[in-house]
Amino acid sequence: MKYIAVVNYNSPGLSGKPDDKLQNKLISLDEMYRLDVETIREWYKEYVNPGVEDVIYSFSFGEDLVEEAEGAWMYFKKKGKVFDATGGMGVLTLGHNHPRILEARIKFQQARRMEVHKTVFSPYTAALSHNLSSLLNGKLQYSFFCNSGAEAVEGAIKTAYKYHNGKRKHILHSGSAYHGKLLGAGSITGSKEVHFKFPVIGGTHPFVYNSIDTLKQLVDQLRNGGGTSEIYAIIVEPFSVSTLTAAEDDFLKQLRTICDKDDIILIFDEIYSGWYKTGPLFYFLKSEIYPDILAISKALGGGKASISAFVSTSKVFKQAYGNTSDAFLHSTTYNGFGEECVTAIEAINTMLDENVAGRTTLIEKKIIGALENIQLKYPDKIIGWKGAGTLFGMQIKVVPDSLGKLAEILPVGYTRERLFISKLEAAVFCDYLFRHYSIYTFFGGQSEVFVLFSPAAIVSDDDLNAMLAKIDDAVARFSLIDVVDFAIRKFRKMVF
């Protein structure tokens, strides 16, 4: 395979600087690999998204580029080896570039396999669907593969709607849920991450997470004159990642009973929490009840493939799409592409062969022990922590309440946000970890802001211990001065 190089590879002006020669031509792949961080920043400002450039450049890692990544490690050009404590936001259960995942993809390419047409049988789609059904004990049986989590959620919603043949118009979701940012998934996302009011699908109703009473009230209200339910689906995250809160066992069991009674489709979103991220294969398995449709993604792609899926019971899928005339009612161009499916098959087998379940149990124990200890040692800096499996968040506080008011006088819109100071502290701590301890992590949350630690499940004991010891040391040293210093650097750029 030859790539078409539009610009002569050896031509002058390819130093990576955004000069005219490069600016106005198409660049080749070779040239792309040689771009320096300044050019990439400029091009983010000009061609990608200036706001994203601004956010990334606020942090020390915005001054550098990642050259390689392997296992739990990233290799930056200037800084060198950095521990990846993000777990790729759910994607990297097997770490970066796991050899089995690379091999599966390379083999697929070398054999010049075909993956485009939907009108010839795909062994990849058939085998991956078979495996998912086996993993889910045949209780969930039919799979549709797509690329993003939000697409899987929307596919699940459409299936539930179609199951009721469009006769029911309402769907219930948690008021703190995060289901994605497409219009449909965004309509049932209560999380404040989606703060702008885009158009929504109709008939959505929020309940309070873990409150069966608020949910029952809606179920009772939304009935027609004959008493039949008008709700086609209830969607819930068995573990809410944006609040680091688990659905209670009793809540899930009662939910199942309510759905069974009124023939409402129960959808579980385990896009982030699944694949051992929060302990078991899927968090709902703790409760020994099954949904009618399950949405999954993230670690399913082994850190390489963009793949997601919704998996339905036989009854629901056949009722919704069982007729030949309805078979293509839901499809996308890139659904079930071969290399993505092959990667997912290998990712699942690797997670089982490498006993990710057992590793997760050990990692969970170690992180809990370390966080308990850190909170005991520094009670004035750590407000709390939460999490499960390999996903944990810690709330750090070094800015006294009296100083928090100062943010309100800064002439920058988002400083008026209620959680501004908490977000600032968490962001600065992330930057501090990167600069002084070579740990890369992130922060998030809704009503509480967490610095998140979520290492890949393949992390070695030594690396995990080192990460936890470094976090302990960082908390000991981190102070108000670091926050002020960061704020001055950032806001001087934005305000003056």
Q: Which residues of the chain form contacts with ligand PLP (CB under 6 A)?
A: 148-150, 153, 178-180, 237, 241, 269, 271-272, 297
Question: CA-CA distance, 248 to 231, in Å (whole number)?
Answer: 23
Contact 114, 338 (CB under 8 A): yes
Which one, 178 or 207, has the nearer CB to ligand PLP? Answer: 178
Which one, 170 or 179, has the nearer CB to ligand PLP? Answer: 179
Least distance to ligand PLP, CB of residue 150, Å: 3
Least distance to ligand PLP, CB of residue 241, Å: 5
Least distance to ligand PLP, CB of residue 147, Å: 8
Which one, 309 or 457, has the nearer CB to ligand PLP? Answer: 309
Tokens coding 42: 């400029």
Strand 382-388, strand 308-312: pairing: unpaired
Which one, 271 or 342, has the nearer CB to ligand PLP? Answer: 271
At position 432, the amino acid (one-letter code) is: Y
Which one, 241 or 464, has the nearer CB to ligand PLP? Answer: 241
Contact 243, 232 (CB under 8 A): no
Least distance to ligand PLP, CB of residue 181, Å: 6
Least distance to ligand PLP, CB of residue 451, Å: 17
Beta bridge partners of 71: 96
Which one, 273 or 415, has the nearer CB to ligand PLP? Answer: 273
Question: CA-CA distance, 160 to 484, in Å (whole number)?
Answer: 51
Which one, 148 or 204, has the nearer CB to ligand PLP? Answer: 148
Residue with tokens 């006993």: 355
327-347 burial: b if 16+ Cβ within 10 Å, else e = eeebeeeebbbbbbbbbbbbb
Which one, 163 or 178, has the nearer CB to ligand PLP? Answer: 178
Question: CA-CA distance, 426 to 101, in Å (whole number)?
Answer: 33
Residue 345 DSSP label = H
To 10 degrees, what angle do helices 420-437 and 461-477 make? Answer: 120
Q: Where are the beta strands (DSSP E) in 197-345?
A: 204-207, 231-236, 239-240, 245-246, 265-269, 293-296, 308-312
> Of the candidates 377, 403, 393, which has an alpha carbon nearest to the alpha carbon of residue 481?
403
Q: How many CB atoms lie within 10 A of CB 38?
A: 12
Least distance to ligand PLP, CB of residue 277, Å: 10
Tokens coding 168: 């029911």
Q: Is residue 411 packed enough to be buried (19+ CB in 10 Å), middle (13-18) or exposed (0-12)?
A: exposed
Least distance to ligand PLP, CB of residue 206, Å: 16
